[in-house]
Amino acid sequence: MSKITSIATSLPEFKHTQDKLYEFSDNIFSTNETDSRKLKFLYHQSGISNRYSVIPDYSKTINDWIFYPPSKDLEPFPGIEKRMQYYAREATKLSVAAIEKCIKNQLAKEDITHLITVSCTGMSAPGLDLDIIEQMNLPKNIVRTSVNFMGCYAAIHALKIADAFCKSSSKANVIVVCTELCTLHFQKEISVDNITASLLFADGCAAMLLQNESTEKGIILQDFYSDVSFKGKKDMAWQISSKGFLMTLTGFVPDLIKEDFEGLVTASLESTGKTKTDITHWCIHPGGKKILDTIVRSLGISDAALAHSYSVLKDYGNMSSATIVFVLKKIFDELRMENPTEEANIFGAAFGPGLTMETFTATYG
């Protein structure tokens, strides 16, 4: 058995309102009043109020920028080297902060047996896993695994690996840490993809502790299911370039999810003997407001059923792989506070490049 017994999050120090982020993007993307009006509408319809970033520039005047050059066209535009320097420094800090909060009053750091790092917004070798081990002085013989470049669904993939580790050893104490610095990859070319990325993505980190033998109440993982819709292969993508990572996210993604999601839920629940009416808590990755609205209609559930997903989107934006863990933490905190006497059934789902859809089912106890 594998059980999530603790979840913690960490955020960069710079909090930007969506209005401030609009002003930054407006200066880059808009060439006239009509462009500005359209962009403002998109930002206000995003369902997002605030986002966090390791970059302070997005809320500052041009003369106070430190990441971007103080020029209207952002030239000379930061290359991949500068972005990865920021990533190496800031990702480790956020990861260590989240892990330390996650294990506080739960576990001594020397007792961590496995470390799974998850990220699609930065890479190096030696990488984030070794930086965390060095900074926290974790056991050098710790089992470490890195899940890289899978995108928003990667946290569920990491949970699969953690579940296998727990089932293979009764003494397993597995840390999964998802660390994403999406705002490092802002692109200034005027395109639908770049505008969409600029209004959605944010930075954040989330850590989970999974254990086999634990008397504490937690989220007990039951089953996993995944599917790939190759017809959406070109509609969601993430590519490395000399100017940073380039996002493709077309307007067809919600339609693709709508087409396949109810069947995905049914297939995922089939092995557990449950149906969607048995689900008490929906843990859905808030890839965007339109995606959440589409899922509500597709499943015939209320907006309230996805309240935690809408809330995370509003307060933090889309933090790629870390986002669904933020949603799961809200569900976990709610269950611990309410301590329900009846069985709580959790269904989680996230989406990413491919178009890949990953799900998990769990109970609380």
Q: Which two tokens stand for residue 8?
A: 């913690």
pLDDT score, position 250: 62
Q: How many Cα atoms within 13 Å fall on the side-chain side of residue 185?
A: 28
State which H helix or E strand residue 7 sits in: strand 3-10
- Are the C-beta atoms of 297 and 290 separated by less than 8 Å? no
pLDDT score, position 175: 98
Sign of CA dihedral 22, 88, 149, 137: negative
Answer whether residue 238 is part of any domain.
yes
Q: Which residue, 318, 316, 270, is CA-closest to 292? A: 318
Distance CA 222, CA 272 (A): 8
Answer whether residue 267 is part of any domain.
yes
State which H helix or E strand residue 149 sits in: none
Answer whether residue 272 is part of any domain.
yes
DSSP secondary structure letter of residue 88: H
According to DSSP, the β-strands at 219-228 and 356-364 are: antiparallel
Q: Which two tokens stand for residue 116?
A: 């799974």
Query: How is the chain split among helix, strand and coil, in percent rounded to 5?
Result: 45, 25, 30
Answer whether residue 168 is part of any domain.
no
- Our count of domains for the chain comes to 1
Spell out the long-range contacts of 22-27 with Cβ–Cβ below 8 A and sequence spacing 24 or more: 22/199, 24/57, 24/58, 24/59, 25/195, 25/198, 25/199, 27/72
pLDDT score, position 235: 60
Distance CA 220, CA 212 (A): 10
Q: Which residue, 169, 97, 175, 85, is CA-closest to 122? A: 85
Answer whether residue 294 is part of any domain.
yes
pLDDT score, position 232: 58
Answer whether residue 77 is part of any domain.
no
pLDDT score, position 228: 81
Whether a cis peptide bond, with omega within 30° of 0, leads into 76 is yes
Strand partners, 119: 148
* Matching residue, tokens 């609205």: 293
Question: What are the pLDDT tens digits along the chain (365 aa)?
Answer: 799 999 999 999 999 999 999 999 999 999 999 999 999 999 999 999 999 999 999 999 999 999 999 998 999 999 999 999 999 999 999 999 999 999 999 999 999 999 999 999 998 888 999 999 999 999 999 999 999 988 899 999 999 999 999 999 989 999 999 999 999 999 999 998 899 999 999 999 999 999 987 778 999 999 999 888 776 566 666 678 788 887 766 665 677 777 777 888 888 888 788 899 999 999 999 999 999 999 998 889 999 999 999 999 999 999 999 999 999 999 999 999 987 777 899 999 998 777 788 999 999 98
Answer whether residue 190 is part of any domain.
no
Answer whether residue 157 is part of any domain.
no
pLDDT score, position 233: 60
Domain of residue 258, CATH code: 3.40.47.10
| Residue 339 C-alpha from the chain's centroid | 27
Q: Which domain holds residue 321?
A: 219-364
pLDDT score, position 163: 97
